[in-house]
Structure 1
Amino acid sequence: VLGRNGSDYSAAVLAACLRADCCEIWTDVDGVYTCDPRQVPDARLLKSMSYQEAMELSYFGAKVLHPRTITPIAQFQIPCLIKNTGNPQAPGSLIGASSDDDNLPVKGISNLNNMAMFSVSGPGMKGMIGMAARVFAAMSRAGISVVLITQSSSEYSISFCVPQSDC
């Protein structure tokens, strides 16, 4: 039912229920990287990251964690250590309330595959009250889940991404 990395979420829920000192997630990589090491060979292992950073990266494509994993441990401020079963001596990545890597201007980059982007634009949109609400209400009526939204500062356009399978 939970799909990819569902055991991560189960571990986080169990850690929260038990008010554990730490949640350890063992996986097939050394931890959380700055980007996908399969696509970017010089990706760097992140020693630490905040709950919010981990949640954003996992939601927007980082495959190391299930997107729901962070919520239960963040709620109870339980640190989460990501380790590699095939390389247990590697330091891993620690997810917690704060990060030792806060001096990085960009913490990580993720990508979403198999998405379709739509843009609704035109000069008639400027100052038009409720345009975004109408666009997203139409998507909702069609049963389409919007994953990402951006609106230009000029109010002339709204762009959004949906899974290609919903198109």
Structure 2
Amino acid sequence: MHKIAQLEVYYFELRFGYGDGAACVEWAVDRLTLDEEGNDLEIVLLVSARGRDEVLPIVEIIVERYVGNNALDDHLAAGKHIGRLRNAYLQGKETVHSIDAALTRLYPKLGYPTWLVMLSRNCEYATDIPAFEEPFEQEFDYISKLWESVSTRAEFEQRYRPEISQQHDAKPIS
């Protein structure tokens, strides 16, 4: 399926409250316009869906069909989102403040996972305390690269080392 990765991004955003589903509908319209739907009924149904409650279940079926049920894992989707945020941060499209807002939204929705503790903390502190900017960037680099290198949550959990995250802390002033 063409541009399914883009639908995955929209799906994540929709699940985490970042939109109303209009981007998903536009994606489906593009597939129909370019005759790329391959007679997929859900894509046809998605074109006429309106609002989050109608769009979400249809998109979930499409994503699961073309990407697999790993794409439905909230942690994996959030980890991939963090990778996109870091790329945008490096390009100057995101700031510490905008990343903090995103993490503040993600952290509780994911149930306060251990892998997100240091990143969330350092980001929040970096918004006001310059000494936390470097530790934030170190942890952001570590977490985003780990998520970008895996295709499942289980892979991430095998590779994640809390002791590395603990090293990404502000140094005492001497």
Report the TM range for the smaller structure's normalisation: under 0.3
| TM-score, structure 2 as length reference | 0.22
Give the strand-richer structure, 1 or 2.
Answer: 1
Give the greater-gyration-radius structure (CA).
1
Q: Which has the higher contact order (CA 8 A, sep 6+)?
A: 1
